[in-house]
């Protein structure tokens, strides 16, 4: 046991030394140690203080996180059968432990004593908020339930953790199981050289001639956007939208259908155990929105504003495809292809032409320069850090006084055995203890097309937005000045406000001043020409109505399957999705489309009955950004205010207080509508 790297005291995780066989022994050991320590802590009859109750519990949480964070991360970015098995073997143990702590009546009593005792008034605001949140979380863990219901809650929590992991595993396996090997160059017509080069590189890595295209998003999107071969697009679309389902080329092999039904049933049961009518109500216990009606009203209002714009967008696309290309019936696998053609036609703007100006190195250097101008931060790469893959880089972030504030790993490229999508996750959280201040460390993960055949990786503008988005989450985690992990960084922030700093960053990607920083032709270094910049800005809201209603479709579907769940009827996943589409959608996919089977945000991530948060937080982020528009993009006073009131405060006070402290008033929806080209009612 002595040579288990997960049990070592480390400054940064020893990724190269972690093996699947280390995982279960390390987790088992730490859980046993923590249980013994908790038993010694919660002694009835003693008067709890911050130092004798909260800080020791934070020590235990920190020790567990140091074991689990690198394991969980590796499972997402370097998945293997052995690691997956070890990871999944630990989930019930971790779930049991979390429920046990959450239902520990002695600890709950101790926190209540602390909250009601004289010391509470002497705690600072962040400490009081942490104690209040802890009391809420004890109740949400079922601490007040009778023994039989407590036991049932524990069973549900354990099964939910296992189901979510299986959902993600199925999706990963289904995504990587399908590929298309092409040897006839005629089928590649329309595809840009960058997509062909990546496919050649993929084929060569598999010892094949020709080209191999996959369902990893950069490869899939290139086919859907550029391939002239309509049957090829249809084949890719069918494979992609039926992943992990009962339909398509691998029908039934990794079907998530039964898992989704079970997840919904268990969430509903869990909510009712805790006294809520449904899981949507339970989810709002930790959010800004106050009721299900408020969420539905918000989404419905946005849909009513956006749908006429979306209908016009679609009609325009149909007319263009018919009049310019003789296409009588526009199918779903034609949407990306003809949208790109229409954009080129209307704005003389091609995504490939734009990509040439966004080599990844230039984008990152420009992003770092932007945060220097906004907040006085400097970011520098650090060599010699132990990473999980040769493509990963490590950076340190310092403030204007030269003080080290945190660090992050950057893992940019798609590869086999890596989960799709983009995300920020925590490696270490800021924390002050007797040993001093532990600085935060983040994982920033994307899935861009890797460099191919000697060319640098080039980003689509949408991918630039993705990078800025995840970096915004990273800054929220890394720049916190709060010393207590439970409310530091993104911790303790209401879930429907947590996207504020990430979406806020996206706005800069449309500004001429920022674009000058982050762009430069990959061959000549020439800046983005004004003519191209003007076209990009003119095209900013191209099809924004269709994009908006698509997001609202996801949000309403998610909220309704959780709010309207009826045990007698089951999940009604597809009937509810159909109802939502009738209400808001303009595009109606074919019956074999199984989008929910791959909707990991809500079935395997933290967004269950919370996908609306993206739009809710966009109201906050757009309005916050409007202050920069009004007072100057790089106005140091405004930058300092955003840093102080939003990024540094983390979850130490409620999100509305932080917003008002920055903006001087409560949020308005105007900026969101303006940024999306929906300002006037259609």
pLDDT digits (tens, 9 = 90+) for 590-629: 999 999 999 999 999 999 999 999 999 999 999 999 999 9
pLDDT exceeding 70 applies to what percent of the chain?
99
pLDDT digits (tens, 9 = 90+) for 437-451: 999 999 999 999 999
Select from 388, 475, 383, 410 the least CA-distant residue to 72: 388
- Pairing relationship of beta strands 179-182 and 211-214 according to DSSP bridges: antiparallel
SS3 665: coil
pLDDT digits (tens, 9 = 90+) for 44-92: 778 899 999 999 999 999 999 999 999 999 999 999 999 999 999 999 9
| 211 phi, psi to nearest 5 deg | -135, 140
Q: Which helix (H) or strand (E) holds 237?
A: helix 230-241
Q: What is the mean pLDDT of the chain?
A: 96
Select from 225, 226, 224, 195 the least CA-distant residue to 211: 195
pLDDT digits (tens, 9 = 90+) for 116-165: 999 999 999 999 999 999 999 999 999 999 999 999 999 999 999 999 99
| 441 phi, psi to nearest 5 deg | -135, 140
pLDDT, mean of residues 529-556:
96
Task: Using the CB atoms, write b or e for 383-396: b if 16+ within 10 Å.
Answer: eebebbeeebbbbb
The token pair at 556 is 């309403």
What DSSP designation does 509 have?
G
The token pair at 223 is 């086919």
Q: State the catalytic residues.
A: 470
Beta carbons within 10 angstroms of residue 66's beta carbon: 19
Residue 459: exposed, middle, or buried by beta-carbon count in 10 A (0-12, 13-18, 19+)?
A: buried
The residue written with tokens 């049961």 in the block is 269
User: In Å, how far from its chain's centre is CA 92?
Assistant: 24
Q: How far apart are CA 599 and CA 551, in angstroms?
A: 12
What is the residue-wise DSSP string for 404-467? EEEEEEEEEE--TTS-SS-EEEEEE--EEETTEEEPPEEEEEEEEPPP-TTPPPB--HHHHHHH
**Residues 6+ away with beta carbon under 8 Å from 81:** none
| 249 phi, psi to nearest 5 deg | -65, -25
pLDDT digits (tens, 9 = 90+) for 404-460: 999 999 999 999 999 999 999 999 999 998 889 999 999 999 999 999 988 999 999
pTM beyond 0.95, yes or no: yes
Cβ atoms of residues 308 and 545 within 8 Å: yes
Q: Which helix (H) or strand (E) holds 169?
A: helix 147-177
Select from 487, 492, 485 the least CA-distant residue to 430: 485
- Long-range contacts from 179-182, C-beta under 8 angstroms, 24+ separation: 179/212, 179/213, 179/214, 179/215, 180/212, 180/213, 180/214, 180/232, 180/235, 180/236, 181/208, 181/210, 181/211, 181/212, 182/210, 182/211, 182/212, 182/213
Query: Which domains can be identified in the chain, with CATH numbers?
Result: 5-144 (1.20.1050.40), 178-241 (no CATH), 257-349+543-611 (1.10.1370.10), 360-522 (1.10.1370.40)
């Amino acid at each position: 046991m002595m040579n288990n790297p997960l049990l070592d005291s480390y400054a940064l995780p020893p990724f190269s030394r972690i093996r699947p066989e280390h995982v279960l022994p390390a987790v088992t050991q730490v859980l046993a140690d923590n249980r013994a320590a908790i038993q010694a802590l919660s002694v009835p009859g003693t008067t709890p203080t911050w130092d004798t109750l909260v800080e020791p519990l934070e020590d235990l949480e920190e020790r567990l996180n140091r074991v689990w964070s690198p394991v969980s991360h590796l499972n997402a970015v370097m998945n293997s059968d052995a690691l997956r098995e070890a990871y999944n073997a630990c989930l019930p143990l971790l779930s049991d432990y979390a429920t046990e702590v959450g239902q520990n009546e002695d600890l709950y009593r101790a926190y209540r004593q602390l909250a009601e005792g004289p010391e509470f008034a002497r705690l600072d605001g962040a400490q009081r908020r942490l104690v209040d949140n802890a009391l809420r979380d004890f109740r949400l863990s079922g601490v007040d339930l009778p023994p039989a219901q407590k036991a049932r809650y524990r069973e549900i929590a354990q099964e939910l953790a296992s189901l979510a992991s299986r959902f993600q595993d199925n999706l990963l396996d289904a995504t990587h199981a399908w590929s298309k090997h092409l040897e006839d160059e005629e089928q590649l017509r329309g595809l840009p050289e960058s997509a062909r080069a990546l496919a050649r590189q993929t084929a060569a890595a598999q010892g094949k001639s020709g080209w191999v295209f996959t369902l990893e998003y950069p490869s899939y999107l290139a086919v859907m956007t550029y391939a002239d071969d309509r049957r090829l697009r249809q084949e890719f679309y069918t494979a992609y939208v039926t992943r992990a389902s009962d339909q398509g080329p691998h029908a039934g092999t990794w079907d998530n259908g039964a898992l989704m039904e079970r997840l919904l049933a268990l969430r509903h049961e869990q909510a009712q155990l805790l006294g809520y009518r449904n899981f949507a109500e339970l989810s709002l216990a930790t959010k800004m929105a106050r009721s299900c009606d408020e969420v539905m009203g918000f989404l419905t209002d946005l849909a009513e504003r956006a749908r006429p714009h979306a209908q016009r967008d679609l009609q325009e696309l149909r007319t263009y495809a018919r009049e310019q290309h003789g296409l009588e019936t526009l199918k779903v696998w034609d949407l990306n292809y003809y949208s790109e053609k229409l954009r080129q036609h209307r704005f003389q703007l091609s995504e490939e032409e734009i990509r040439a100006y966004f080599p990844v190195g230039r984008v990152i250097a420009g992003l770092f320069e932007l945060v220097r101008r906004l907040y006085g931060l400097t970011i520098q790469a650090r060599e010699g850090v132990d990473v999980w893959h040769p493509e990963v880089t490590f950076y340190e972030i310092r403030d204007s006084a030269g003080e080290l504030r945190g660090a992050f790993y950057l893992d940019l490229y798609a590869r086999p055995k890596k989960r799709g999508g983009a995300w920020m996750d925590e490696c270490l959280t800021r924390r002050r203890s007797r040993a001093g201040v532990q600085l935060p460390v983040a994982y920033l993960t994307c899935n861009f097309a890797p460099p191919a055949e000697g060319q640098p990786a080039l980003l689509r503008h949408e991918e630039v937005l993705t990078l800025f988005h995840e970096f915004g989450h990273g800054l929220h985690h890394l720049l916190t000045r709060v010393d207590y992990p439970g409310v530091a960084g993104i911790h303790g922030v209401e879930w429907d406000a947590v996207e504020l700093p990430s979406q806020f960053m996206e706005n800069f990607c449309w500004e001429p001043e920022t674009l000058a920083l982050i762009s430069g032709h990959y061959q000549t270094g020439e800046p983005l020409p004004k003519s191209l910049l003007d076209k990009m800005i003119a095209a900013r809201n191209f099809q924004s109505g269709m994009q908006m209603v698509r997001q609202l479709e996801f949000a309403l579907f998610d909220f309704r399957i959780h709010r309207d769940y009826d045990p007698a009827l089951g999940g009604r996943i597809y009937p509810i999705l159909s109802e939502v589409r009738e209400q808001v959608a303009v595009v109606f996919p074919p019956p074999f489309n199984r989008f929910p089977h791959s909707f990991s945000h809500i079935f395997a991530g933290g967004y269950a009955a919370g996908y609306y948060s993206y739009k809710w937080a966009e109201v906050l982020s757009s309005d916050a950004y409007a202050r920069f528009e009004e007072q100057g993009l790089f106005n140091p006073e405004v930058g300092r205010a955003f840093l102080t009131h939003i990024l540094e405060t983390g979850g130490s006070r409620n999100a509305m207080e932080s917003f008002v402290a920055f903006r001087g008033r409560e949020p308005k929806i105007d900026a969101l509508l303006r940024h999306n080209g929906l300002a006037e009612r259609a």
